[in-house]
Structure 1
Amino acid sequence: MADLPLHPFSPFAIELPTYVANTISAPVLVSIFAAGCAVIFLITYGIIQRMRPSMGSGEMAVAMWFALCGCIHLFFEGYFSYNAFDMASKTDIFGQLWKEYALSDSRYMSQDAFTVCMETVTAVFWGPMSFFCVYFIIADHPLRHPFQIIVSLGQLYGDVLYYAICTFQEVVFDIVYCRPERFYFWAYYFLCNFFWIVIPLLLIRQSVNEIASVFAKVKAASAGKKAQ
């Protein structure tokens, strides 16, 4: 009995003396998270309908994306950043959600330097700036695309480093942070983070094209005035 791991996270050798097991099952935790996302979308939709009902579906989807990012970055990841040095003992909803996710990446339980710093930067900067993006999109503000590029590039950079460092640790040092069940790797570690690779890339391309188009029009207008 003494050789059994005292927690479910890989590698089992890491010490988590304050670990308390989750009391809510994984399907219920995932359902709660999905329901929270749905509420965020509904609230954002209601705000858009009140402030700018003529907004197209594409712009509405981007606004909802940044509203979701703002809530996840500021509140959920901010929770981790604030409690990073004792996550293993947390039994509230956010704490149990993080412990469920940590089955795919135990760095969230072991005060890993990169994870703590990366999540803190994400919460402090990309969280509030995501909410600014929502406002700028709804208000059709000129700062929308500069902010969209900054936030999306920050998300992309953080996610690439997240994948890269974990892969480096496994390939070079043979340290595996994910449990052996492939579900945790593909559903939690890969899929849940891959959204922050694909969508930021699309939004960066959109903003670059919009800014380039505006500069091209300004340049053409300036050339036309000089020719007169």
Structure 2
Amino acid sequence: MNANIVHPGADALPDHPFYPLGVALPGYIANELTTIQILAIFSGTCAAVMLPSLVAINRTRPDLPKRELSTALWFILCGCIHLILEGYFAFNAVATSRHVLAQLWKEYSLSDSRYLTRDAFVVSMETVTAVCWGPLSFFCAWSIVADHPARHVLQAVISLGQIYGDVLYYGTCTLEYVVRALEFSRPEPYYFYGYYVFLNAIWIVIPSMLLWSSCKKITRAFARVQQLEATRNGKIH
């Protein structure tokens, strides 16, 4: 039996909106901000980061192809989300906090209450994401703008890490449902499909494309090196 689950009597009602019904959240503090306000704060903050970044990159590298520009902005966004948002969760109990970042996590937790119960996997996964992929995402964005040779190695490592974490995230939640019949999302479809499925799928789709692109670039680079070495050895012999 899950230690975080209590089984209220027939007339008892949970003092919070999270699933599974009866999940224990000691010291839980309800959000003061509405869903619209939380989404507006999140969107506005992202815009406040991305727009100056776009201007700065265009000034630094006006010749940077649009695809490369978009990729650099993607990693800047990843760096902010991983380091600040996920970093806050990794080191703070969000269920008992009124901080705006805690309220954002409580809104998302309507689709996955494991974030409020400090589930061991979720905390571990988010800590690795914040500590590793956060700083490296900023470094990767810089390497794209600076045309640094390490760019595709960084891009491949970060993207693979994001995919791996997301697959495990989906997998552990699915396993809990299949094996133990536990549902961590509220029954409204927009929580499950909007928050849980769609938002997380972004970090599978885009990293998959970037990983494929980097693998092709790295493979071509090694093939070229091998060709040059073969040509040089042929001349020597």
| TM-score under structure 2 length normalisation | 0.92
CA shift, 1:2, in A, is 6.2
> Identity across aligned pairs (percent)?
49
Instruction: Provide the residue aligned with 2:175 in structure 1.
Output: 168
Q: How does 1:100-115 map to 2 (within 5 A)?
A: 100-115=107-122
CA shift, 1:41, in A, is 1.5
Return the letter of the residue paired with 1:51: T
Instruction: Structure 2 unaligned segments of length 5 or more: list them.
Output: 1-9
1:49 to 58, 61, 70: 58
Counterpart-to-counterpart distance in 1, 2:234 and 2:162: 44
Return the letter of the residue paired with 1:99: K
**CA distance change for structure 1 residues 16 and 2 in 2, over 3 Å: closer, same or farther?**
farther
Instruction: Provide the residue aligned with 1:129 in structure 2.
Output: 136
Return the letter of the residue paired with 2:141: V
CA distances 1:59-88 after superposition (whole Å, capped 9, x unpaired)? 0000000000000000000000110xx311
Counterpart-to-counterpart distance in 2, 1:174 and 1:2: 23
1:23 to 29, 32, 56: 32
Instruction: Provide the residue aligned with 2:15 in structure 1.
Output: 6
State yes or no: 1:154 paired with 2:165: no
Counterpart-to-counterpart distance in 1, 2:125 and 2:72: 24
CA distances 1:99-141 after superposition (whole Å, capped 9, x unpaired)? 0000000000001000011100110000000011011001000
SS in 2 for 1:8: coil
Q: How does 1:41-80 map to 2 (within 5 A)?
A: 41-80=50-89
Instruction: Provide the residue aligned with 2:228 in structure 1.
Output: 221
Counterpart-to-counterpart distance in 2, 1:64 and 1:75: 16
SS in 1 for 2:29: coil
Return the letter of the residue paired with 1:132: F
Instruction: Structure 1 unaligned segments of length 5 or more: list them.
Output: none
Counterpart-to-counterpart distance in 1, 2:200 and 2:53: 22
Deviates more, 1:73-82 or 1:30-39: 30-39
SS in 2 for 1:7: coil
CA shift, 1:50, in A, is 2.4
State yes or no: 1:197 paired with 2:204: yes
Q: Report the aligned-residue RMSD.
A: 1.2
Return the letter of the residue paired with 2:52: I
Return the letter of the residue paired with 1:74: L
Runs of 4+ in 1 over 6 A off after TM superposition: none
CA shift, 1:225, in A, is 2.1
Counterpart-to-counterpart distance in 1, 2:133 and 2:230: 38
Return the letter of the residue paired with 1:157: Y
Q: How does 1:89-104 map to 2 (within 5 A)?
A: 89-104=96-111
2:94 touches 2:116 (CA, 8 Å); kept in 1? Answer: yes
Counterpart-to-counterpart distance in 2, 1:141 and 1:133: 9
| TM-score under structure 1 length normalisation | 0.96
Counterpart-to-counterpart distance in 2, 1:12 and 1:154: 33
Counterpart-to-counterpart distance in 2, 1:87 and 1:68: 22
CA shift, 1:227, in A, is 2.8
CA distances 1:168-203 after superposition (whole Å, capped 9, x unpaired)? 000110010000111100110001100100011101
Counterpart-to-counterpart distance in 2, 1:47 and 1:106: 39
Counterpart-to-counterpart distance in 1, 2:125 and 2:232: 49
